[in-house]
Amino acid sequence: MLSRRKTCKRESLIGYLELHKIRVFYCFPLVKKTTVDPNPPRPTNETETTSFKVIINSEDDLIFFNPDIWPEETIVSRWLFHERPPTKPSSDTQPSITQQ
């Protein structure tokens, strides 16, 4: 995840990363939910925001996490994926068993 003080668009960030030879697989703008608007509109490629989820080639980690390439007040952190616990099927969806 990448968070900055100033807003920018997805394409600007991708261009910046490519200048530093970082291969971007995916870059998704993130919009913070607020109590005022708990369901903000989905971000688009044109959305200006301060936070992005960025998926890069793992071979580019050293460059991506190098603080020297980022402007001041930029926070770069790993996006951690947590496995969700398996869900139990409800009794409505379980097949019924009949004896013959």
Q: Confidence class of residue 89 from pLDDT cuts 50, 70 and 90?
A: low
Spatial neighbors of 65 by CB under 8 A, at least 6 apart, are 76
pLDDT at 96 over 50: no
Give pLDDT tens digits for 6-65. 889 999 999 999 999 999 999 989 877 666 777 777 777 788 889 999 999 999 999 999
Question: pTM above the 0.95 mark?
Answer: no
pLDDT at 1 over 60: yes
CA 45 – CA 76 distance, rounded (Å): 20
**CA-based nearest residue to 12, from 49, 64, 43:** 49
